[in-house]
Structure 1
């Protein structure tokens, strides 16, 4: 991760890292790594990049903490029926709007 004026640059904009994988790809694959859904080869490439790139490593850490927080706060709870219905309605409305564009 390059630094400019003391600030880390956006990891999604920097694809110049070695290890055969760029920052944009790492950011896109973070959840497959966290969920254990990537191949051993992909896991190793991601791990190597994360070790070499502080910005991507920081992003990975944030996503890891978010996943842990969701797991802690949402275990066993079910959404109220009214909320589910509002979400279904909003999804249908969004799908209709996008389909009509």
Structure 2
């Protein structure tokens, strides 16, 4: 995504770090670059607003459920693979809790 205008920080870079920004996990000073970009780039600002709304909705609907630690580990492993440029395997991210639920139904 790009608005077609030149920016100090490229749209692709901003979108690559959007979730880190939303989760307040960016190094000090890096978040300011994204804030400046959002002031200049309405497509990226719109994407930021959409992702922020989805994050709030998920938190409101699912914020009270405990996430199994093995699921978190699997998701974080996939994120690391993607960030390193590798393709993650096409495997569902199920947990032991999911298999217990499925057999109980």
Q: TM-score, normalised by structure 2?
A: 0.58
Match of 2:57 among 65, 69, 72: 69
| 1:60 and 2:52 aligned | no
Deviations 1:37-69 (A, max 9, x none): 001221011110011000000000000001000
What is the CA RMSD across the aligned residues, in angstroms?
2.4
Secondary structure (helix, strand or coil) at the match of 1:94 reads: coil
| 1:41 and 2:37 aligned | no
Could you tell me which runs of 5 or more consecutive residues in structure 1 were left unpaired when the two chains were aligned: 1-9, 85-92, 96-101
- Give the Cα separation in 1 of the matches to 2:6 and 2:25: 23
Secondary structure (helix, strand or coil) at the match of 1:58 reads: helix
Residue aligning to 1:17: 6
| 1:94 and 2:90 aligned | yes
- Give the Cα separation in 2 of the matches to 1:32 and 1:50: 15
Does structure 2 conserve the Cα–Cα contact (< 8 Å) formed by 1:18 and 1:49? yes
Could you tell me which runs of 5 or more consecutive residues in structure 2 were left unpaired when the two chains were aligned: 72-88, 92-105
Residue aligning to 2:19: 31
